[in-house]
Chains A and B, each alone.
Chain A
Amino acid sequence: MPNNRLTRLFQEKSGNLLNVYFTAGYPKLEDTTTILEELEAAGADLVEIGMPFSDPLADGPTIQASNMVALENGMSLKVLFQQLENVREKVTLPIILMGYLNPVMQYGFERFCAEAARVGVDGLILPDLPFAEYEEEYKPILEKHGLSLIFLITPQTSDARIRQIDALTNSFIYMVSSASTTGSQVQSTEAQRAYFSRVKALGLKNPLLIGFGISDKPSFEMACQSGHGAIIGSAFIKALQQPAEVRENVRAFLKQIR
C-alpha cells in the first residue's frame, strides 16, 4: 500500500472530508495553482484536478464547458505538469488528477505516472480505465510510482463488484450518488437511502466519498452522514464563473460549505 498524502489523510481524519474538483486551466490558464492554494487555505481536505478532454462523456454540461474553455486556453498535460512543478513548496493537501484515458495514453502511461509522482500528485481517477486492464497492465506502474487509483461505484454496482473494487483500492471509493453524469441535482430518494445503507452494510475497508450533485451545505452535510465526506465539482465550477476575482470566488464558495 502506497504511503502518500492521500493514504495518510484517511488515517488522520475519518469524517466530514471535503474534496473539491476543478478543471485545470479554468477559468484562465494560469488559475490552476491559484485555485489550489486558495482551496487549501479555505479548508478543503483534498482536491481533484480535472485534466481537460475534448469528449468527456461522463460529464454534464458545466464540466464539459469548463473542459472546452480550458482546452481553448491552451491547457494540456505538458502545461499542467509545468504548472505543478513547484506546487509542493506551497500546498500540502493530497492531489488527485482526474481525467479520461486517451490523453494519458498519448502522453505515455508510464511517463505520465512518473511525472505525476515527481511533482507531488498522490492519486488518479481514470473513469474509463476498466479494472481487468488495470490489474494486468497498469497496476504495477502505478504502484512503482506510489500512486493510488480511485474507482467509482454507482447505485447499479453489484455487491460482489463493490467488494472487488474495495480489494483493489488503497485510498477511498468514489461513491456516485445517483445514476447520472456530473452536475445533476441529487434528491434524497428512497432508492438512494437504500443504496447508501446497502453499501454501508458491506463493511468496506476503504472510506467512501460521495460525489455527483453535491452543491451546497445541506447536500454536503447529507453526504457526510452517509459517507466519510463528499466531492463537489460542478457547483464549484459554477462558483468560479462569478464576476469576482478567482481567489475571492474560491473563498466565498468554501465559506458557504464549511
Chain B
Amino acid sequence: MKYGVNERGYYGQFGGAFIPEMLYPNVEELREKYLSILQEPAFQEELNSLLRDYVGRPTPLYHAKRLSEKYNTKIYLKREDLNHTGAHKINNTVGQILMAKRLGKKRIIAETGAGQHGVATATVCALAGLECIVYMGKIDTERQKPNVEKMKLLGATVVPVTSGSQTLKDATNEAIRDWINNPEDTHYIIGSVVGPHPYPDMVARFQAVISEEIRAQLLEKEGRELPDYVVACVGGGSNAAGAFYHFLDEEDVKLIAVEAAGLGVDSGHSAATSILGKTGIIHGSKTLLMQTEDGQITEPYSISAGLDYPGVGPLHAHLAQSGRATFFAIRDAEAMEALRELSRLEGIIPAIESSHALAALKELKAGPDDVVVLNLSGRGDKDLNTILTYFEQQDAQQ
C-alpha cells in the first residue's frame, strides 16, 4: 500500500516510535505480535461476531435526500453514530480488548478527552471482565461529567489528571507513565491513530471496517464501489483513518479531512494542526503538532472536546504533506450551524466533532452527479449541554 505504514513504522517521514527505554518492551511486544494476532482466523471470527452482535455492525450507509438537495449533490452518511456507545470509538476498543487478552494482559489503561473513548474502553473492559483505569484531565472531568459517571457505572476507575494543562494531552502523558510503572500485566488502549508505532497502524486497521463496509454498501446502492469524495473530521484521526483506509490507494477518490479551527485559524484558539502545526514529537510519534517556537507543546482549543488534540496521527500528517488528502478547518460557529441543519433536515443530531465534517460540505463544490460519503462519527447526545449553552448564548447576543 502506497500510503500504508512501512516496516519501520513510518508514513513518509512521519511516525516511528520515539519512546523512552522504559516503554520499549511493551511497545516492542505489541509490534512483534499485532499483525499475526490480527490475522488469526479465531481472532477475526471473535472480532467479527462482536462487531455484529455487540456493536451493531454493519452500520447503515444512509442516502440523506434532504441534505443532498440542499448541497445539490448525492450525500451518503455512514452512520457510525448508531454504534453501541454512540461513536466509532468502540470499533477500536473491541479490537484492542481482544488483542490485550491474546497478549495475556490483566489490566487496561486508557486516556480520554471528551470521555467517548473512555466510555468505549470501560464498556469493553466490562465485557471482558478486565480491570480498567481511565486517565482524564481534571478540567475534562468537570466539563464531561455524564461520561465520568458512565465510566464509573461500567466499573472503571477514573483518575483525574492534575499535571500540565489538565486536558487530553496530559491524560495521555499520565496513561503512558502508568504503563512505564506497570510494564508486565498492562495493556494501553490508545484512543486514536496516534502514539508510537504500531498504534497508528493497529488502530487504523480496527477502524478500517468503516471503509470496507462503505465499499460493499456503495456497490449495492450505486453499482460502484468508489465514491467521488469521502469526508471525515480529524482529532487524532481515527474515524478519518477508518473511512479513508480502503480508498487510500484509489487516487480518484478525493479524501477530505476536516479539522477544528476553533474561534478561527489565526485566533490563537484553534486546533487546526495541519495548518498551525510543525513537525515534532508528541506521545512517541513524529508528526505535525502545535507547539511554541521553543518546542513546548501548546494547548489547542475547539468547542468539540474530541477534536481538541495538539497533534494529528502520522498517517494524516503524511496525507496532508503529500497532498493525498485535502484539509479544511471549520470554526465552532460553522460546526454548530451544521449540527442544527442536520438535526432539522434529517432528524439526526450529530456529535459536534462530526458536525465539523458536515460543515465542510459547503466548501466541497461537489457536482450533482458526484457521490459524497460523509462519516458521521458519533451522535450528539453527549454534547447536549454544550449545544444548549452555545445556542442560548447565541440567542442572547442577538
Q: State whether the Cβ of A2 lies closer than 8 Å to any Cβ in chain B.
A: no
For window 137-191 of chain A, which residues contact chain B by CB distance below 8 Å?
Answer: 151-154, 156-158, 161, 176, 179-181, 184
For window 114-137 of chain A, which residues contact chain B by CB distance below 8 Å?
Answer: 127-130, 132-133
Q: Interface code B157-196, partner A: CB below 8 Å = 1, 0 otherwise?
A: 0000001100001100100110011111000000000000
Q: Is A57's CB under 8 angstroms from B294's CB?
A: no
Contacting B176 at CB < 8 Å: which of A57, A61, A101, A130? A57
Q: Interface code B271-294, partner A: CB below 8 Å = 1, 0 otherwise?
A: 000000011111110000001011
Q: Is B180's CB under 8 angstroms from A104's CB?
A: no
Q: Is A106's CB under 8 angstroms from B278's CB?
A: yes
A114 to chain B, nearest CB (A): 17
B205 to chain A, nearest CB (A): 23
Q: State whether the Cβ of B394 lies closer than 8 Å to any Cβ in chain A.
A: no
Contacting A156 at CB < 8 Å: which of B25, B164, B169, B296? B25
Give Cα A71 to B180, complex, Å.
25
Give Cα A64 to B293, complex, Å.
21
Contacting A154 at CB < 8 Å: which of B21, B279, B293, B298? B21
Q: Is B291's CB under 8 angstroms from A102's CB?
A: yes
Q: Interface code B1-36, partner A: CB below 8 Å = 1, 0 otherwise?
A: 000000010000000111111101100000000000
Q: State whether the Cβ of A55 lies closer than 8 Å to any Cβ in chain B.
A: yes
Interface size on A, residues (CB 8 A): 41
B354 to chain A, nearest CB (A): 28
With A54-B164, A58-B20, A133-B16 already in contact, the answer to whether A156 and B281 are too (CB < 8 A) is no
Q: State whether the Cβ of B295 lies closer than 8 Å to any Cβ in chain A.
A: yes
Q: Is B163's CB under 8 angstroms from A104's CB?
A: no
Q: State whether the Cβ of A77 lies closer than 8 Å to any Cβ in chain B.
A: yes
Q: State whether the Cβ of B297 lies closer than 8 Å to any Cβ in chain A.
A: yes
Give Cα A68 to B18, complex, Å.
22
Q: Is A61's CB under 8 angstroms from B22's CB?
A: no
Give Cα A78 to B297, complex, Å.
17
A110 to chain B, nearest CB (A): 15
Give Cα A154 to B184, complex, Å.
13
Q: Chain B: residues with CB nearer than 8 A to chain A?
A: 8, 16-22, 24-25, 163-164, 169-170, 173, 176-177, 180-184, 278-284, 291, 293-298
Q: List 8 A-B contacts (CB under 8 A).
A: A57-B173, A57-B176, A101-B281, A102-B280, A130-B18, A132-B8, A157-B21, A181-B180
